[in-house]
């Protein structure tokens, strides 16, 4: 070994060794799968129209919040499915009893009618088509209980149609072949997926807590099982949200839809139903809603659609009801006892589907002192016409902000 190496050569050798060592390390590491990963839900939507639409049709997909009377036959005064009906919408029915879909149709200046009306074994698609002039108006697809993909929605066993959003879109394509540039297309699905998953979670949680209380499992084990049950429910919400985004992409945008807005989910714990939940369960329902909204955002990232955030404004309405002309946002305006009496005991949960506000009629189901315009909720989760006006005012403001109306 040379005891006195040439400095220049030694430096060069050192540099080589250092570089080689770093190269080796970097080279080895490149196969390790390290590094950061993209965070879901951070890609914004892009490319939606920014110009005013020439709308001839309002097309809405969704659940009870967007239902403009699909189950009216269940509220037949004669009790045989025939008109006249005393209910039919999930709000306070009767004079001025409109929901957000009808309000937006009025704002845009188009007529919209239910895509399908019926209950139990009997239903009619596009009943308005009986009048040829209205054949193109039956584009309000929302039905109480509907989920995103699963046809077994809430109330299906009791006769509700619960056609899922997936099939609602397919039905539209079957009748009208494609979406048009003159369609204003609004989707609001997933609320019932959250309720179904929450209900499944709650049943599991009750069992876990029973086992823990009886000493069959440790507190840590109970917590692990609760976390696992919650994760399973969140996974289902993720799946539903990505499916909904997929339908928007492949069944609406790819089939002519131009003006497409997708609503995310409001926090269902900010309802009279939500306030009845145990404090430990409420965050789980909120998490399910947030999970859906996260993956909906992820699924719609980069697509030429607009997202209408119903979650943040919903929180503001809950916190500041007076700002929206509301005086009560905690008590349902419909009286469960009256509705039970009107339906001869068939409906005991106070569902607003059977709630009517016409003064002086025997089927008036409104709670004494309640208002259909200044109280926010008709039942545990559904808004009064006043609550619906808050929603449609907000949606109209967003549509204006998009430059669409």
Partner 1 sequence: MQSHAQLSSIARAAALTLGGLAVASTATAQPAPINPPPNPHVFKLGAARYETNTVTSGISGIGIPAGGDVTTGNANTAIVTYEYHFQPNWGLELALGIPPKIEARAAGSVAFLGRVLEARNYSSTVLLTYHLPDVSSTIRPYMGIGLNYTRFGDIKTPYAWQVGLTDSIGWATHAGIDWRLNKQWGLYASFAASEVKTDLTAVGATVLKTSIDFRPRVYSAGLSYRY
- By the criterion CB under 8 A, which residues form the site for partner 1? 1, 3-5, 7, 10-11, 14, 17-19, 21-23, 25-30, 32-37, 39-41, 219-220, 223-224, 227, 230-231, 234-235, 237-238, 283-284, 287, 290-291, 294
Query: What are the start-end ranges of the H helices in 248-355?
Result: 272-275, 282-300, 311-319, 336-342
Q: Which residue number, 291 or 357, has a Cβ lying nearer to partner 1? A: 291
**What is d(CA 316, CA 322) in angstroms, rounded to the nearest whole number?**
11
List CB contacts of 244: < 8 A, sequence separation 6 or more. Answer: 148, 149, 165, 187, 189, 190, 262, 296, 299
- Which residue reads 């979670």 in tokens? 201
Q: Smallest gap, in angstroms, from Cβ of residue 224 to partner 1?
A: 5
* Of residues 7 and 360, the one with the C-beta less far from partner 1: 7
Q: Which is nearer to partner 1, 25 or 174 (CB)?
A: 25
| Closer Cβ to partner 1, 19 or 331, answer by number | 19
Token output for 177 = 């072949």
For the CB of residue 219, give the shortest distance to partner 1 in the complex, in Å: 8
Query: Residues 6 or more apart from 83 whose CB is under 8 A from it?
Result: 72, 76
CB 27 → partner 1: shortest distance, Å? 7
Cβ count near 14 (within 10 Å) = 10
Measured from the CB atom, the residue of 48 and 284 that comes closer to partner 1 is 284
Smallest separation (angstroms) from partner 1 to the CB of 201: 11
Both tokens assigned to 395: 């949606």
Q: Which lies closer to partner 1 via its Cβ, residue 226 or residue 307?
A: 226
What is the residue-wise DSSP string for 347-382? --S--GGG-B--TT-TTB-BPTT--TTTBSBSSSSP
Query: Element (H or E) spanning 342, and its range?
Result: helix 336-342
Minimum distance from residue 398 beta carbon to partner 1 (Å): 24
Q: What distance, in Å, lies between the first and last C-alpha atoms of the chain? A: 85
In the complex, minimum distance from the CB of residue 275 to partner 1, in angstroms, rounded to a whole number: 20
């Amino acid at each position: 070994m040379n005891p006195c190496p040439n400095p220049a050569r030694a430096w060069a050798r050192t540099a080589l060794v250092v570089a080689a060592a770093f190269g080796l390390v970097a080279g080895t590491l490149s196969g390790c799968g390290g590094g950061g990963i993209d965070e879901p839900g951070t890609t914004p939507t892009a490319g939606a129209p920014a110009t005013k639409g020439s709308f001839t049709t309002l097309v809405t997909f969704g659940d009870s919040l967007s239902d403009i009377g699909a189950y009216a036959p269940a509220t037949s005064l004669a009790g045989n499915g025939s008109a006249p009906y005393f209910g039919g919408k999930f709000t306070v029915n009767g004079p001025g009893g409109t929901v957000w879909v009808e309000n937006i149709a009025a704002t845009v200046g188009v007529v919209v009618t239910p895509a399908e009306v019926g209950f139990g074994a009997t239903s009619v698609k596009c009943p308005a088509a009986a009048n040829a002039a209205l054949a193109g108006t039956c584009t309000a697809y929302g039905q109480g209980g509907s989920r995103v993909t699963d046809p077994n929605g809430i109330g299906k066993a009791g006769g509700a149609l619960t056609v899922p959003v997936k099939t609602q879109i397919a039905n539209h394509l079957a009748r009208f072949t494609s979406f048009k540039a003159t369609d204003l297309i609004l989707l609001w699905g997933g609320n019932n997926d959250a309720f179904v998953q929450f209900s499944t979670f709650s049943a599991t949680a009750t069992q876990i807590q029973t086992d823990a209380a009886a000493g069959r499992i440790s507190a840590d084990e109970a917590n692990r099982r609760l976390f696992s049950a919650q994760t399973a429910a969140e996974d289902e919400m993720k799946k539903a949200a990505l499916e909904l985004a997929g339908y928007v992409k492949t069944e609406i945008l790819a089939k002519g839809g131009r003006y497409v807005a997708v609503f995310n989910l409001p926090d269902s714990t900010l309802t009279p139903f939500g306030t009845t939940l145990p404090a430990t369960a409420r965050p789980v329902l909120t998490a399910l809603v947030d999970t859906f909204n996260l993956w909906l955002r992820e699924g719609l990232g980069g697509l030429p659609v607009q997202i209408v955030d119903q979650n943040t404004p919903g929180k503001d309405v809950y916190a500041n009801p007076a700002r929206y002309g509301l005086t009560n946002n905690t008590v349902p305006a419909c009286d469960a006892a009256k509705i039970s009496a009107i339906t001869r005991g068939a409906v005991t949960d106070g569902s607003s589907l059977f709630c009517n506000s016409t003064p002086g009629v025997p089927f008036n189901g409104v709670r004494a002192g309640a208002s259909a315009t200044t109280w926010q909720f008709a039942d545990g989760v559904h808004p009064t016409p006043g609550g619906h006006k808050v929603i449609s005012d907000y949606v109209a403001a967003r549509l204006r902000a998009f430059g669409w109306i």
